[in-house]
Chain A
Amino acid sequence: MDWQFVFSQALTQAIGPTMLVYALGAIGLNLQFGYTGLLNFGQAAFAAMGAYGLALSVVAMGLPFWWGIVIGLLAACVMALLLGIPTLRLRADYLAIVTIAAAEIVRRIARATVWSDTTGGSDGMRGFSEPFFEMIPWDRDTTWSFLFVSMDNGRLAVDFGIFELQYSYRDTWVMIVGWTLVAVILVVMAFLIHSPWGRVLKGIREDEEAVRSLGKNVFAYKMQALVLGGIIGAIAGFVFALSRANVQPDAFTTDFTFYFYVVLILGGAARIFGPVLGAALFWFLYNILAQGLIQAISADVIPPSVIDSTQVGPLVFFLLGLGMVLLLIFRPQGLIGNRKELMFDVR
């Protein structure tokens, strides 16, 4: 079996479009959960707001691409306000319950047959991503090479000798845009977190009554964190929808939110780079396990009597779940979290 291929594939994925979706979703969650302590269990719905906001604007309403982006962002803001206003004055668990329910409602509405003429029902929508890919500044037949980076008919390849990363014409564009977004968002977030504003968020995470007693409008700060994190979630939704050139309601299940949490905790919550590292590691592990097992089965390294290729998916998720449990036991702070911070009893 071809380990080099498996490794190259996994590495390609570890910094690829899907990883960027996880990273962005988790960055939004980091602001809400990592820094402010808000339990948003509906990040998938914020991503859906972005994805469907864009798709519906462009396909159903015939609006230009950029209007779709604006509408997607506004939709995420509106949802944050709708969920936040009734819950953010209450105990933390109310937001958790309401966001989980809202995410499911959003998904059900998206797949409802009543509106399937507009939304495509459970099949979802396509045909909104062309304007995005028309922006690609190089042609499909572009070919060049520079040191270990090369482009062959519009496709990008990075050759490290023992392994090689390869991206399609479109994926390359998604990655350029996606990584630029991640970089810009992380820079802004670093500035925000290391400001007195960020200090108030951390204070709220530690003890919101104490912060209130110091004259801060805790509700307003929580709302700001919820809205900003939701907007970043919608951006994750854009990247998700554009990278696949379609939206489907069943992609936005609670599992999706759960993976954002896995990524965040794996990388280290309340750390600027935590979500990016977490997403890279999570998606690398997922791919190396999945690809490795499939390769091993097809090369008869693992006999089909033990496991067949249809069982690989569930097994990988079982292994990742197990890994997550072990992580929480042996390294609860994640890759780059601060162990010392975890030693205090926060409540």
Chain B
Amino acid sequence: MSDDVKAGVAAAKAALAGVPAEPGAPKQDAILTATGVRRAFGGLVAVDVAHIEVQRGAITALIGPNGAGKTTFFNLLTGFDRPSRGSWEFDGRRADRMRSYQVARSGMVRTFQLTKALSRMTVLENMLIGADRQRGERLWAAPFRWLWLKEEAQNAARALDLLERFKLADKRDHYAGELSGGQRKLLEMARALMLKPKMIMLDEPMAGVNPALKQSLLEHIKDLREEGMTVLFVEHDMDMVHEIADWVAVMAAGQLITEGTPDQISADQRVIDAYLGAHHDAAQH
């Protein structure tokens, strides 16, 4: 297992080795490429990203002060919001015209900053609903159990495997509404994995998670990279970012201000200014 771990990290590091630390830097093998993405709410320009490429198979952290536009950018990329302009490609396909469910089906699956557990459904049901392209989800096939029972059993087996991994297996028959905030975060992530995504986008996955769970969540995210998945996640805690990210993109006031390895970013004066500026603004309020 530890050899595998090294393989994934090594590949990601190698792919990003020669990439210059500047906003919009081209990547060796970008799974996501976005250009000129802009979203304004009335007069407020929430997102205005000139160009960004996300390296396939790497863990990329998206950081930036509160209100920088990270969540809005996620919403745009995943079809939950429409940009004023801009275009992007995911895995070689135009994705900016897709509806949110089509984006998810094409392999780019997101989680939400405010967790969206399906409260009055069990943990297992939450997982099963995540499985993609189920025959039993078609109206015409639904009443005929024999058409989908086998598929359902396979999905359930996969769901239980994932729940095992996320330490939620003993909660399988509990309502999702009964879980703690941290457990819901885990459930949401596990549920997203039911779709077998190529890229998973996690909006503040660590927020509200207790330190013990946090560590295991970090391990899970690292495991995803070993499985060849691309991870883009929003996080505030630079220590966390240092620990797992191969690459860091920094947003401030809607723009991508810089990119680089975690070490490069920590040393970047613009990043420090952006955060300090935000704190400074906040202090004035």
Contact = CB atoms under 8 A, between A and B. Distances in A.
Given A191-B143, A341-B120, A346-B120, A200 B129 contact: yes
A36 to B, nearest CB: 13
Contacts of B111: 213
Interface in A198-216: 198-200, 202-203, 205-207, 209-216
A197 B101 contact: no
B86 interface: no
A188 interface: yes
A191 B142 contact: yes
B142 A196 contact: yes
A209 B71 CA distance: 15
**Which of the listed residues B99, B132, B142, B152 has the most CB atoms from chain A within 10 Å of its own CB?**
B142
Interface range, B side: 35 or more
A340 interface: yes
A215 B195 contact: yes
A192 B143 contact: yes
Contacts of A197: 136-139, 141-142
B116 interface: yes
A203 B136 CA distance: 15
Contact of B109 (A192, A213, A344, A346): A213
B34 to A, nearest CB: 19
Interface in A129-162: none
Nearest to A192: B142
A58 interface: no
A295 interface: no
A81 to B, nearest CB: 15
Contacts of B49: none
Interface in B234-266: none
B145 A191 contact: yes
A341 B137 contact: no
By secondary structure, the A interface counts as helix
A224 interface: yes
B160 interface: no
Contacts of B188: 210
Interface in B145-161: 145, 148, 152
A224 B139 contact: yes
A344 B177 contact: yes
Contact of B195 (A192, A195, A214): A214
A337 to B, nearest CB: 11
A61 interface: no
Given A196-B152, A197-B137, A343 B112 contact: no
A12 to B, nearest CB: 34
B121 interface: yes
Contact of B137 (A206, A210, A216, A340): A216
A218 interface: yes
Contact of A213 (B78, B133, B139): B78
Interface string A234-248: 000000000000000
B80 interface: yes
A205 B136 CA distance: 19
Interface string B200-224: 0000000000000000000000000
B129 A214 contact: yes
18 contacts: A195-B137, A196-B134, A196-B137, A199-B128, A202-B118, A205-B120, A206-B121, A207-B118, A209-B116, A210-B118, A210-B188, A212-B101, A214-B130, A215-B102, A215-B132, A215-B133, A215-B195, A344-B177
Interface of A: 188, 191-192, 195-200, 202-203, 205-207, 209-218, 224, 340-341, 343-346
